[in-house]
A and B are shown apart, each in its own frame.
Chain A
């Protein structure tokens, strides 16, 4: 790397931190929505189940880039407000993450054996107690490991926010490129940074999974 690029390391670092942060936000909000949609998918009501399915399949099928264009340009026209790139990016990542998290959470809840529900009901627990003490503690073990995979997906998708001008790692790289003209070098640095971030997360994820397995 030329010393020329070294002086931009602050940009790269800030970009990386922004990438990690906005992806985390998207994952978290996506998990909240995903939990609700997962409950719809598991509901006794046929209508709710169908709505949940349509939600998941819709946001699984629409590319992030399309969501970004829509939320940045389209929503502004519809709602007559200007959405910042940050809000548009968070919204898009959240919607996409929510579809993935729905399936992860649903699988987690379904992994709790039927007998556990029956036993907790027989023990006279309220619905709230049942979830708090019996179902969730068991489901979480199944939900967390694949959530790490979803986080990595969201983190990679967040690079597309660069297209609407949100300055995360990819956009930071493009800005440095424009300033220095060192196209391929800068892109290579950005690629390596993404690799380091995601690979570390996946290593941490496997460690987590191993701990869950033993416990």
Chain B
């Protein structure tokens, strides 16, 4: 009979906050960069130039169909060829961002598609510049329609960041590997890491619900009438 003993992994818990921070920082950076690039990617997918549309469409399809692990390996082993140091953290950050950007482009695109053309025309006829249209007219409207898929994408990023352990980044999953193999207490280490991921992901869920209620709840009702 297996005896469950948290005692056995206690010595390793001191390294947990750093691992958690690694997961968080990777995820936040990825979310930030891919979110911003995603907005512009989505706008460029509507470009008048077909080569631009084609290239972006191809990029999105590639990232949606190739496993993140393969992208990560490709980036990791390409770094030296590009004259950069073989650094797991940057490789993971780049691979995660490449992957997430594709999904962000699609999320923002779906928001843009739902926005009537008249909104762009009204903004243009009022003399708003492209940036002003984006800031005052487009984003406030599409963020309401896409904040649910955006939340899902944030969760996907957190989960995807577990792959950084493959290129020796000391985040949560790597901590599980280290603590598990050193103590031979994989089960206990699993429970700890599973709870950590649950807390992170459910935290995002909670944040999403609260943002939705606070920012958009009242307005949504008024807009729908």
Chain A residues in the interface with B (C-beta under 8 A)? 57-58, 60-66, 69-70, 73-75, 77-80, 152, 156-157, 159-160, 162-163, 170, 173, 183-184, 187-188, 190-191, 194-195, 197-199, 202
Closest CB of chain B to A50's CB: distance in Å? 14
Out of B64, B81, B159, which one reaches A184, CB within 8 Å?
B81
**Given A160-B69, A184-B77, A184-B78, 11 new contacts (CB under 8 A):** A57-B205, A61-B201, A62-B197, A159-B67, A170-B67, A170-B70, A184-B74, A190-B70, A195-B62, A195-B66, A199-B61
Interface size on B, residues (CB 8 A): 43
Given known contacts A61-B197, A63-B159, A65-B162, A74 and B66 CB-to-CB distance under 8 angstroms:
no
Among B2, B159, B184, residue most surrounded by chain A Cβ atoms (within 10 Å): B159
B181 touches A194 (CB 8 A): no
- Bound form: Cα–Cα A74–B121 in Å: 59
Q: B residues within 8 Å of A by Cβ?
A: 2, 61-62, 64-71, 73-74, 77-78, 81, 155, 159-160, 162-163, 165-166, 172-173, 176-177, 180-181, 184-187, 189-190, 193-194, 197-198, 200-202, 205
Cα-based distance from A73 to B189 in the complex (angstroms): 11
Does the CB pair A191–B184 fall under 8 Å?
no
Q: Contact check, A69 vs B65: say whether CB atoms are below 8 A apart.
A: no
Residues of A contacting B189 with CB < 8 Å?
74
